[in-house]
Amino acid sequence: MTEAPYKAPALEKGLDILECLAGLRTPQSISDIARSLGRSRSEIYRMVVVLEMRGYVERTDDPEKLQLSNRLFEVGMRSPPKMDLHEAALPEMSALASRMMQSIQLAVVSSDQIVVIARTESPDDVGFSVRLGHRRSIMKSASGLVLFSFATPAYRAKMLEDLAESGAQPSDMEYLQASAHQVQETGYACMPSRMVDGVTDIGAPIFDSTSHGAVASLTVPFVVTRRAKVSLQEAPGLVAEAAQRISATLGYSPVSTS
């Protein structure tokens, strides 16, 4: 990784704390955070106080434990492209959920992971969904495969660099690149879930008018039920069509990128 031209130790510590809490599923004490980051408690304490004052972290029922607040999510949603993405995607996600009787997710890339930023629950009594903010490795999800496959060459290289730094095996990254060629040809990813048996993940790319690569993945964790209105064979086409309509709403035109 390229050496940063400038250092901002205090800022780096604050970001480390936020990323630490984001990566852990349970509230943490200041001592827990310090231990995870390999820093002293005194180093972390002042940073946590400031983050708490600014509303980025909050105390739980146990006053010694801290967790992320919704502040980061709220700040992120102020970004016009993200707001436009939500506004364009949610109606289509709702319609697709009703048509397929499945849960629908919207995911974006964050370093070597995907993050779920919106979801629509299945109208059926049975379905599968993950919480907002759920993160997974790019290599372990259909969303990640889609976003890698339809990223620009420069961004794909950056994702591979991030994966290597996180400890990904060269053979796994080679497999990711090989799988990307097929996804580019079909226009969608369809693969057994790497998290839950019996679920097939189907993802398709969403583009906008300003980016040269996919900005999000529309993903369906497909569960075969007796009330399902769509077969597994029909599902990928419906997901891809919905993603295309969202892209069109965002001003994307395939001709404009040719």
What is the rounded CA–CA span in Å between residue 75 and residue 3? 28
Question: Is 131 within 8 Å of 155 (Cβ atoms)?
Answer: no
Strand, helix or coil for residue 44: helix
Domain 79-257 class?
alpha beta
Tally: H helices and E strands in the chain: 9, 8
Architecture of the domain made up of 9-73: Orthogonal Bundle (1.10)
Q: What is the CA radius of gyration of the chain?
A: 20
Comparing 55 with 257, the larger pLDDT belongs to 55
Burial of 85 (0-12, 13-18, 19+ CB in 10 A): buried
* pLDDT for position 1: 46
The pLDDT assigned to 240 comes to 96
Q: Where are the domains of the chain?
A: 9-73, 79-257
What local confidence, expressed as pLDDT, does residue 228 receive? 75
pTM given for the model: 0.71
Q: Which pLDDT tens digit goes with each residue over 92-133?
A: 999 999 999 999 999 999 888 899 999 998 887 766 778 888
